[in-house]
Chain A
Amino acid sequence: GNSVTQMEGPVTLSEEAFLTINCTYTATGYPSLFWYVQYPGEGLQLLLKATKADDKGSNKGFEATYRKETTSFHLEKGSVQVSDSAVYFCALEGYQKVTFGIGTKLQVIP
């Protein structure tokens, strides 16, 4: 079956630091890939997506590229802010089902 592996964290960074959260996947077919973000006490918000190989998803300074050859979809941001503190989930969609990674908690300190 489909699976998503991401670093568990927590990840603690200083404001303006560079962020990378690694994500790799196993899937049959050609799934769409996503990053979702969850702020405390809230549901998940779609951060960015990529629907085919070599697509780059981007939003709010975050980026991720769909790498079929390495089955990866790493999340990056050049300069994090305190407001980016949240839990980030890598996910893939296949056969009307979303499979999520375990989530990576990011804490950004001033």
Chain B
Amino acid sequence: KAGVTQTPRYLIKTRGQQVTLSCSPISGHRSVSWYQQTPGQGLQFLFEYFSETQRNKGNFPGRFSGRQFSNSRSEMNVSTLELGDSALYLCASALDPNYGYTFGSGTRLTVV
């Protein structure tokens, strides 16, 4: 069965630009979460969606936003990119979050 697919795998953007990352969850999984991973801060929770509704949000500025579509696919958007947004962005999906998430391979974003 297909895993969690994130596209693109790598991205290079310039400061001030905006970026959209995509995530296709495992078929049947309606919960989708996003995390930012950096060497300094580790894994930080961005937001979680279930059936197109955001149920929880982490402590990130409003430049970070997301959405989930009716087929459970999710996108996250970062506007006005800053150098500090350079990170690995991980998407994860779950049938029931109490039993753990399946993670994608991530999108490596570099802001120059």
User: A residues touching B (Cβ–Cβ < 8 Å)?
Assistant: 32, 34, 36, 42-46, 49, 51, 89, 93, 95-103
Q: Is the interface of A mostly helix, strand, loop or mixed?
A: strand
Q: Point out the residue from A36, A49, A103 that lies within 8 Å of B42, measured CB to CB.
A: A103
B99 x A96 contact (CB < 8 A): no
Question: A84 CA to B67 CA in the complex, in Å?
Answer: 36
A-B residue pair count with CB separations less than 8 angstroms: 56
A99 x B42 contact (CB < 8 A): no
B43 within 8 A of A: yes
Q: Point out the residue from B45, B98, B103 that lies within 8 Å of A44, measured CB to CB.
A: B103
Q: Point out the residue from B43, B100, B103 that lies within 8 Å of A32, measured CB to CB.
A: B100
Rounded to whole Å, the gap between the CB of B99 and the closest CB of chain A is: 6
When C-beta atoms are compared, the residue in chain B nearest to A43 turns out to be: B103
B105 within 8 A of A: yes
Known: A32-B98, A51-B98, A103-B42. A96 touches B48 (CB 8 A): yes
A98 x B45 contact (CB < 8 A): yes
A residues in contact with B99, CB < 8 Å: 32, 49, 51
Known: A49-B99, A100-B43, A103-B42. A95 touches B33 (CB 8 A): no
B residues in contact with A96, CB < 8 Å: 31, 33, 48, 50, 55-56, 97
When C-beta atoms are compared, the residue in chain A nearest to B48 turns out to be: A96
Rounded to whole Å, the gap between the CB of B106 and the closest CB of chain A is: 5
